[in-house]
């Protein structure tokens, strides 16, 4: 292995001694992972790294739902749990940090809430300073009987927060009011999606002019044009995440990321694939093809900091598979690593 520059931190919900955050040295030459440490966490669903790289926040489905502040030893990736805060809802599924490191945000899938937390200059996690509650339902009685916030995504400039809600077929927009430590609803900036879409995850392109929203229930990815001044999101096009002969009922897309050059990738759990898309000048998507992930239930995936590799987390096969990203956007498998029930992966730079 060449001297690694980054660690990959992976949430594991395997239970027992395997549950926790596992750290792996990432070899940027060949995409391989070598385990360096493991930190016990009861039920970690998602994690986010502070911009300074010294603090990690973990959405943990324990004790009714908490978000944990952890210091990270950047020599081996081990975590030291500093404080737990209530997630202010049931079933925390997503945590994020705004680009300036001022706030952390959590989405509670089961509780219908999203919470905002002030961060000190050194990344310390204060108690929630604001909580917003979503109400409503959707067309699918089994999955949309109530609101289900599934992500809490700061806009590229850190002025707005966007909360995709699987249960209401909406992306709710909030202005981040730093003077008052509050989330201010911005109705005219929110986006309504077709009934039965099931908004899940959202990622913005390099320039921030467009966002890409995964529809978990209808297997789509929707391009949303974003007005930088008002924060408004406007749907401009939709593409299917699976081939035409695959029914949405047999699939469930999960994660979305935008490559540094602008291509969009989406993970498909039922189809067990990564879908790739080229992006037009107007933000609309053109399919590049589908690459099998080599395992079941690729719940999330990540692009390494260089953009040369894509790492797919096959939760139900206990593997993380590394793919090289070709110049044309194609994916070529390069390495596999056994990881207990991986659910989220994030990179942190070594000291």
Looking at every residue in the chain, the average pLDDT score rounds to 96
Secondary structure of residue 59 in the 3-state scheme: strand
Task: Note the pLDDT of residue 342.
Answer: 98
**By the 8 A CB rule, do 71 and 60 touch?**
no
pLDDT confidence band for 4 (50 / 70 / 90): confident
| Whole-number Å distance between alpha carbons of 307 and 304 | 5
Of 312, 308, 313, the closest CA to residue 324 belongs to 308
Task: Note the pLDDT of residue 351.
Answer: 76
Average confidence (pLDDT) over 124-143? 98
Task: Note the pLDDT of residue 3.
Answer: 73
Share of the chain above pLDDT 70, in %: 99
> Tens of pLDDT along 227-269?
999 999 999 999 999 999 999 999 999 999 999 999 999 999 9
| Whole-number Å distance between alpha carbons of 94 and 91 | 9
Average confidence (pLDDT) over 278-303? 97
pLDDT confidence band for 1 (50 / 70 / 90): low
> Tens of pLDDT along 19-58?
999 999 999 999 999 999 999 999 999 999 999 999 999 9
DSSP-assigned letters across all residues of 170-219: EEEEEEEETTTTEEEE-GGG-EE--TT--EEEEEE-TTSSEEEEEETTTT
Neighbours of 278 (CB within 10 A): 15
Residue 32 φ then ψ, to 5°: -80, 160
Q: At residue 340, does pLDDT exceed 70? A: yes
Average confidence (pLDDT) over 188-193? 98
């Amino acid at each position: 292995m060449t001297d690694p520059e980054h660690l990959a931190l992976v949430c594991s919900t395997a239970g027992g001694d395997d549950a926790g955050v596992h750290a792996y040295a990432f070899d940027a030459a060949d995409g391989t992972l070598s385990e360096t440490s493991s930190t016990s966490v009861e039920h970690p669903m998602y994690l986010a790294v502070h911009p300074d790289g010294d603090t990690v926040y973990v959405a943990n489905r324990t004790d009714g739902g908490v978000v944990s502040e952890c210091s990270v030893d950047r020599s081996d990736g081990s975590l030291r749990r500093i404080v737990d805060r209530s997630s202010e809802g049931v079933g925390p599924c997503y945590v994020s940090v705004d680009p300036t490191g001022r706030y952390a945000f959590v989405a509670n899938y089961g509780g219908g809430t999203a919470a905002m937390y002030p961060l000190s200059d050194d990344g310390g996690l204060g108690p929630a300073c604001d909580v917003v509650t979503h109400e409503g339902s959707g067309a699918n009685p089994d999955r949309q009987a109530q609101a289900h916030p599934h992500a809490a995504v700061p806009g590229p400039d850190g002025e707005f927060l966007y909360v995709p809600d699987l249960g209401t077929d909406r992306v709710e927009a909030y202005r981040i009011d730093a003077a008052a430590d509050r989330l201010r609803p911005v109705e005219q900036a929110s986006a309504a999606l077709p009934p039965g879409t099931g908004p899940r995850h959202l990622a913005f392109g390099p320039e921030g002019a467009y966002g890409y929203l995964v529809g978990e229930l209808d297997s789509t990815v929707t391009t949303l044009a974003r007005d930088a001044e008002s924060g408004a999101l406007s749907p401009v096009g939709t593409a299917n995440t699976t081939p035409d002969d695959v029914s949405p009922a047999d699939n469930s897309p999960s994660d979305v990321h935008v490559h540094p050059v602008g291509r969009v990738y989406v993970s498909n759990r039922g189809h067990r694939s990564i879908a790739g898309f080229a992006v037009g000048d107007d933000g609309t998507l053109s399919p590049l093809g589908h690459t099998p992930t080599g395992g079941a239930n690729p719940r999330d995936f990540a692009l390494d900091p260089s953009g040369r590799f894509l790492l797919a987390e096959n939760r139900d096969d206990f593997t993380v598979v590394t793919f090289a990203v070709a110049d044309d956007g194609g994916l070529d498998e390069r390495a596999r690593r056994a990881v207990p029930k991986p659910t989220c992966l994030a990179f942190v730079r070594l000291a």
